[in-house]
Structure 1
Amino acid sequence: MNLSTGLAVTVALLAGNGFFVASEFALVAARRPRLERAAARGSRAAASAVAGVRELSLMLAGAQLGVTMCSLGLGLVSEPVIAHTLAPLARAAGLPSAAAHAVAFVVALGLVTFLHMVLGEMAPKSWAITHPERSAMLLAPPFRAFSAATRPVLAVLNAATNLLLRLVGVPPSDTASVSRTPEQLRSLVVESRRLGLIGETDLRLLTAALDAPRAPLAGLVTPLGDVVAVPAAATPREIVDTAARHGLVRLMVQGPGRDGAARMVHVRDAYVARARGVRTTAGELAHPVPALPIDTPVAEAVAALRAHRSRLGLVLAADGRPAGLINLDDLLTPCSPRPDARPNCVNVG
């Protein structure tokens, strides 16, 4: 093989090695929720990346197979070609034939190893870790095509690996997981406080944040007496003026709607209506607000508000009467509890 062909093969093998390395690190480092959101918006590349994450063990086997094939190719093709090119130069420098061949081989080995580590390993790895979701969506389609073509070989390799892991008492896993249970996080927080890594205030805040998803809404309700509302007949100007006076962007509308549900109006809609000169009222601009029992856990309340695409929710007391309002922002933001009262961090705006 001549030098030009050998160099072209070397470049192709280095690029292939970098492709497999980047694909491997991208699937491991990418955040699955972000990929799933992109896939839900219609991205086929993101859907392919999510599918790769779901069968991560097989994908990693494919990456290792690809890296091994490229590394073997560099050893079989690139090193002999470079050594064969350098050997005449070493002999021309006065070295004996055997010594010239040895020097050329060492130089070729060092050069190929350097290129393999820098261009084929470290550079693509750094790029994939820096932009994990972007690299995963870019590389997943061709990488999964390679994995599909070599699936029988990968299945055998993966089965052998899983068998070896079971023999040493390690349960194999097909997905990457770094999640921690609330109990594990509480233990970490308590241990951090014991070691003096966090203060007592931080301990209370973190404990409250971990307990918040299971806590009821009772401590986060804004009483009806503190809720700012406008009449259903209020004009857009009156809505804007009331919102500006209280520093809010959402106002409750007095009286239920036709379906009996509580309603709110966003000051943005009032601004648009006023700018367009539309004659309308707060009741016509209002949106329904979901109602939740006061003993609803915070996590369920967040899911309910998101399902209704509402920032506010009406909280019902045990007897079914309105008790106050909750704000989605307050449910998602840890509050600093006061020692003399319930958490006071609710902002209906």
Structure 2
Amino acid sequence: MLEDDRKREVYAFLSEGRPLEYTKLIAVAVLIMVTAFFVAIEFSIVKVRRSRIDQYVAKEIKGAKAAKHVITHLDEYLSACQLGITVTALGLGWLGEPTVQTLLHPLFLKLGLHESLTHFLSLVIAFLLVTYLNVVIGELAPKSFAIQKAESITLMFAKPMIWFYKIMFPFIWVLNQSARLITGMFGLKPASETELAYTEEELRVLLAESYKSGEIKKSELKYMNNIFTFDKRMAKEIMVPRNEMVSLPIDDESVESLQEIIKQTKYTRYPVVKEDKDHVIGVMNIKEVLFSLLSERFSFTKEQLDPFIQPVIHVIETIPIYQLLIKMQKERTHMAILIDEYGGTSGLVTVEDIVEEIVGEIRDEFDADEIPHIRELDKNHYMLNAKVLVSQVNDLLGTDLSDEEVDTIGGWFLTQDIDAAPESVIEYDGYAFKVKDIDSHHILFIEVKKAE
């Protein structure tokens, strides 16, 4: 009976009207929600990408202009958020714990607990309860939500944030100036003046993450990575070397010989040489010749071929390929002759060679028999064209072949064995490099496999 009476007293106490305490509880809940608002805004404006907001502004999305204003004045609005969070925290400290303690204290007394124990328990429980609610509901939950929905929150709450900033401007200005004075002593700039540019490595990481999440395709990732290495490559690394150049010797050969060269090789453009390949006088586009033949404007004689010889540009072989591409676009030519430091011809580069550095190998109907430069025969077993760059081989095999003196794997092999012959083998970094095809001293193919 005594236990039942005790329960009835407690229920009666809880059902008593305590309008002031309940009003304070509502105020505590409001303060926690306001804290959540400022925390969400703070994390969202830091997390959101400016490029996305610029896209929304261009599309005239509602709230985009306000969001643009907020993220371009990051220092001011971060200070506004911090002011809002601090004020609500002070309000919770002043109102939250005493209110909850006031409600709990009579409850513990009704339960028959000692006065000192009642005071201690009500104080501790009130502190823990208010702290828990503020941390979870006011900070952690809105922080996680803001990180995942940064764009939506920024667009939705940018205008209210601007109003709050205008109302509290004097306080925020004082806080900002004080903070800038302190950070300026350490040589730091305001957040709104900090460059938000990404390094090449950061962009690579972002692209890799975008590929993993399905935002971009594998081919797009490959193209972008190729572009990053594009400006580091030199023309001599992608050229057709001198000994592989197919040219039209306009002075010594008969017309039938020229026709046979064109028939066998089926290229569109040919460098035209006089005497030898060190004297390239121009380039001939066979399409122009063909169109003239079809229109019966001339017959295929050496004398009438002269007007079809167009000027060709000569550049040093160490020119970066991005500069060469710009020059070729400016000169409106598809072929460039590379010269070495002594003025001799070292090779040629076409626009197709440059484009292939970005998009990969391009094959037309006449490239059916073309062999890939890197062929995987088995695990850790490859057949390499001798023109493959040493850096590419290092990336493929994880080796550390030196490329200081030479660019290609064929050149590297010759530096290790000047008397290289078919089936010559060099073991290096756990791999066996074997010459599979050689023309005089010109290595054509090298077989690479894991050394036993």
Shorter-chain-normalised TM-score: which range? 0.5 to 0.7
Q: SS state of the match for residue 130, structure 2?
A: helix
Q: SS state of the match for residue 89, structure 2?
A: helix
The two structures, once aligned, show a CA RMSD in angstroms of 4.5
Q: Find the counterpart in structure 1 of residue 430 from structure 2.
A: none
- One of 48, 51, 57 as aligned partner of 1:39: 57
The residue type equivalent to 1:111 in the other structure is: L
Q: How far did residue 95 of structure 1 move?
A: 2.5
The answer to which of 172-181 and 70-79 deviates more is 172-181
- One of 45, 48, 52 as aligned partner of 2:70: 52
**CA pair 207-322 structure 1, distance change in 2 beyond 3 A:** closer
Kindly indicate whether the alpha-carbon contact (under 8 Å) linking 2:41 and 2:146 is maintained by their aligned counterparts in 1.
yes
Kindly indicate whether the alpha-carbon contact (under 8 Å) linking 2:70 and 2:162 is maintained by their aligned counterparts in 1.
yes
Kindly indicate whether the alpha-carbon contact (under 8 Å) linking 2:227 and 2:358 is maintained by their aligned counterparts in 1.
no
TM-score by length of 1: 0.57
Q: How does 1:92-107 map to 2 (within 5 A)?
A: 92-107=110-125
Kindly indicate whether the alpha-carbon contact (under 8 Å) linking 1:53 and 1:176 is maintained by their aligned counterparts in 2.
no
Q: Is 2:332 aligned against 1:320?
A: yes
Q: SS state of the match for residue 63, structure 2?
A: helix
TM-score by length of 2: 0.45
Separation in structure 2 between the aligned mates of residue 98 and residue 213 of structure 1, nearest angstrom: 77
**CA pair 104-166 structure 1, distance change in 2 beyond 3 A:** same
Separation in structure 1 between the aligned mates of residue 83 and residue 69 of structure 2, nearest angstrom: 19
Separation in structure 1 between the aligned mates of residue 89 and residue 50 of structure 2, nearest angstrom: 30
**CA pair 96-184 structure 1, distance change in 2 beyond 3 A:** closer
**CA pair 184-115 structure 1, distance change in 2 beyond 3 A:** closer
Q: Find the counterpart in structure 1 of residue 168 from structure 2.
A: 150
**CA pair 170-330 structure 1, distance change in 2 beyond 3 A:** same
Q: Find the counterpart in structure 1 of residue 440 from structure 2.
A: none
Separation in structure 1 between the aligned mates of residue 143 and residue 177 of structure 2, nearest angstrom: 26
- One of 230, 235, 241 as aligned partner of 1:212: 230
Q: SS state of the match for residue 2, structure 1?
A: helix
Q: How far did residue 16 of structure 1 move?
A: 0.4
Separation in structure 1 between the aligned mates of residue 138 and residue 100 of structure 2, nearest angstrom: 18
**Deviations along 1:191-224, whole A, 9 cap, x unmatched?**
xxxxxxxxxxxxx99985424368899999xxxx
Q: Find the counterpart in structure 1 of residue 141 from structure 2.
A: 123
Q: How far did residue 162 of structure 1 move?
A: 1.1
Residues paired across the two proteins, number: 245
Structure 2: which 5+ runs fail to align? 1-18, 205-221, 239-266, 269-319, 336-349, 362-371, 375-385, 390-452
Q: How far did residue 7 of structure 1 move?
A: 2.0
Q: How far did residue 185 of structure 1 move?
A: 8.2
Q: How far did residue 4 of structure 1 move?
A: 2.1
* Higher fraction of strand: 2
Separation in structure 2 between the aligned mates of residue 139 and residue 332 of structure 1, nearest angstrom: 43
Q: Is 2:42 aligned against 1:24?
A: yes
**CA pair 154-322 structure 1, distance change in 2 beyond 3 A:** same
Q: Find the counterpart in structure 2 of residue 340 from structure 1.
A: 387
* Higher fraction of helix: 1
Q: How far did residue 90 of structure 1 move?
A: 1.1
Kindly indicate whether the alpha-carbon contact (under 8 Å) linking 2:66 and 2:159 is maintained by their aligned counterparts in 1.
yes
The residue type equivalent to 2:138 in the other structure is: G
Separation in structure 2 between the aligned mates of residue 150 and residue 89 of structure 1, nearest angstrom: 41
